Amino acid sequence: MADTAAQATGPILVLNGPNLNMLGTRQPEIYGADTLDDVVALCERTAKRYGREVVAFQSNHEGALIDRIHEARGVVSAIVINPGGLTHTSVALRDALVIPEVPIVEVHISNVHAREEFRHHSFVSPIATAVIAGLGIKGYAAAIEYLLGD
């Protein structure tokens, strides 16, 4: 069983999947001009307003993301995840996300439902507490506010 004290006060793990390290340069017409550093700074500012912290991690490798999720068990209070392209392909990532036994908010910068058909399916959404899509990087702040708000 996960540590309930950590769940109540632990940091929020902000995970970003493949290609999100290229924010600001990769297809700015879809993803905007903000960088991954901007995303992390926004998450830190938002959590700080609630007296909380975030721990951010990005990888282009599915196994590294899964390992980081395993390490989160009993340590973090929630997970905010933008799985990138793994959203639509990774059962393994989905299975790992239930291991920490904490709320999960899935975030997408673009409105994936207004894009290509293959982006309409998510393996993460059925296990997520909430899903936010199409708000740009503000979706990350909305996720943290949802998790920490009254």
Neighbours of 73 (CB within 10 A): 16
Burial of 43 (0-12, 13-18, 19+ CB in 10 A): buried
What integer pLDDT is reported at residue 6 of this predicted model? 54
What integer pLDDT is reported at residue 112 of this predicted model? 78
pLDDT at 114 over 80: no
Active-site residue set:
31, 108
User: Residues, the chain, total?
Assistant: 150
Residue type, 5: A
Q: Which two tokens stand for residue 39?
A: 């995303």
Q: What share of the chain has pLDDT > 90, as a percent? A: 77
Pick from 4-8, 20-24, 79-83: least confident: 4-8
Residue type, 82: N
pLDDT at 99 over 80: yes
